[in-house]
Structure formats: structure tokens, C-alpha cells
Amino acid sequence: MRLEIPTMKSLDAKKGEAKAEKAVEKAAAAEEKVAEKIDFSNVKIEPLFEEMVDFDTFAKSDFRAVKVKECEAVKKSKKLLKFVLDDGTGVDRVILSGIHEYYEPEELVGKTCIAITNLPPRPMMGIDSCGMLISAVHEVDGHEGLNLLMVDDRIPAGAKLY
């Protein structure tokens, strides 16, 4: 009987096979998601604003990619989540958002979101909220639906949106 001792080459080959299997599984899951059709026939969206905003006013809005470092429910509030965000400045930014009905705090940690960062601080439940996270809101069968805008995690904290 001959005993085979694994070599670095054979170990690397096994790692490569495992990575390939994971990639195939991931692609299959993504394909399944794409194949899953969403019925938007009973979705209502708010009408577009009729009033126009001049470009200079729009250009004053500072939209940035932000990374969720921490997220927790605000005590004594059913709606508010407190986000501690990396906005690329090296100083944590705190934003409160009334989206607890739609998300649990732990599922948002590590996500990359979009925020408007140059709003004046707004006190909520004794905490200054320094900006606003951007969400898409719609109505389905008489109930509000909300999706926090999340982008690819390869986008760095602080990246400006134009």
C-alpha cells in the first residue's frame, strides 16, 4: 500500500476546484433570481414632481456612498434605526432612519448605501441625525413598500454621486 502525501500543487488544485464549485453555485443562484419574475402590475408609485429644480440647486446636494459600520434599533422608538456610517472622511457619521418596519439592524451592517450628507443635523429622539439615507418607496395592495438603496460593495465609502 502506497501512502500519498499531499503536495502544495495538489492542495492548490483542490482549493481551485472548491472555488470553481462555489462560483458555479453562485452563478446558478443568481440565474435563478434573474429568472424569478416580479409582478409590478399592482404597484403604485408617487407621481413625479411637476415643479422643476434648476441645476445649481440640484448640484448643491451632496450624495455619497456610505458603508454601514453599525446599526441598532433606537430605544423607545418602533420605527427608527440608528446607523453609524463610514462616509470616507475618517469621522463616523450618524443617521437615523425610520425603516425598522422593513429591515432588521443586523442585516444592514456591512452594506453600502447612498446618503445625502449635507443636510443640517436634525434631532430625533435626542440624537442628531446628520443626513438621510436614500430609499425607494412604492405602494403594493394599499401597503407602503420600501427598499433602502444599496449599491455594489466595491464602491468605496465617500464616493460622490453625480
| Burial of 4: CB neighbours in 10 Å, binned 0-12, 13-18, 19+ | exposed
Local confidence pLDDT in tens for the 162 residues of the chain:
566 666 656 556 666 666 667 766 766 666 665 567 888 888 898 889 999 999 999 999 999 999 999 999 999 999 999 999 999 999 999 999 999 999 999 999 999 999 999 999 999 999 999 999 999 999 988 899 999 999 999 999 999 999
43's CB contacts (< 8 A; 6+ apart) are 138, 139, 140, 145
Q: What gap in Å lies between CA 39 and CA 37, rounded to an integer?
A: 6
pTM comes to 0.74
Given this model, what pLDDT does residue 39 score?
84
97's CB contacts (< 8 A; 6+ apart) are 80, 81, 83, 129, 132, 133, 135, 148
